[in-house]
Amino acid sequence: MNALRRIAPALCCTALCGLALTACGDDGLKGTVEDYDTVTVWSDPGPGGRQTGELTTLAPLTVSCYEDGWFKISYDGGSGYIDSGTSILSKKGEVAPGMVPTC
């Protein structure tokens, strides 16, 4: 019984990590921007980045990873970072940081 108590948490962690990684696949997690006028795309995460583009509602994009409050994305016409508070809808539901790997 004690061995089961030690193994069970490790098995749960392994299963959850596997689910998180398979949720995005090799190419990232595909989705669309939800209800916004525009979403600014930045060259780098954080205050040091420069604006490189804008996306509008229903613009398709791919989220490849999460880094300190930012999603790294690619879209038709470029790539960059958007604030992770941006609502992105995928086939798996609204994209959250735990659904994609860390950059």
Q: How far apart are CA 96 and CA 63, in angstroms?
A: 10
CATH class of the 2-99 domain in this structure: mainly beta
Looking at residue 23, its pLDDT comes to: 44
Give me the average pLDDT of each 10-residue run along the chain (103 residues): 42 36 63 92 91 95 97 95 95 96 96
Q: How far apart are CA 26 and CA 4, in angstroms?
A: 34
Contact 88/74 with Cβ under 8 angstroms?
Answer: no
Looking at residue 37, its pLDDT comes to: 86
